[in-house]
A = this chain, B = another copy of it.
Amino acid sequence: MTKEQIQECIKACQECATACGQCIDGCLSGDDVKMMAECIRTDIDCMTICQTTAQFMSLNSQFSSDICELCATICEKCAEECDKHADMHDHCRKCAEACRKSAKSCREMASMGN
CB-defined contacts of A22 to chain B, threshold 8 Å: 58-60
Question: Taking chain A's interface residues, is the majority helix, strand, or loop, or is none over half, making it mixed?
Answer: helix
Interface size class of A (residues with CB under 8 A): 35 or more
A82 contacts the other chain (CB 8 A)? no
CB-defined contacts of A51 to chain B, threshold 8 Å: 51, 55
A97 contacts the other chain (CB 8 A)? no
Contact A31 B34, beta carbon cutoff 8 Å:
yes
Q: In the complex the two chains form, what is the Cα distance from A56 to B52 in whole Å?
A: 12
Contact A58 B18, beta carbon cutoff 8 Å:
yes
> Which of B20, B31, B49, B58 contacts A25, CB < 8 Å?
B58
A80 contacts the other chain (CB 8 A)? no
CB-defined contacts of A45 to chain B, threshold 8 Å: 56, 59, 61-63
- Which residues of A approach B to under 8 Å, CB–CB? 7, 10, 14, 17-22, 24-25, 28-29, 31-34, 36-37, 40-41, 44-45, 47-49, 51-52, 54-63, 66-67, 70, 73-74, 77
Q: Which 5 pairs between the two chains have the least Cβ-Cβ distance?
A: A21-B58, A33-B34, A14-B14, A33-B33, A25-B60
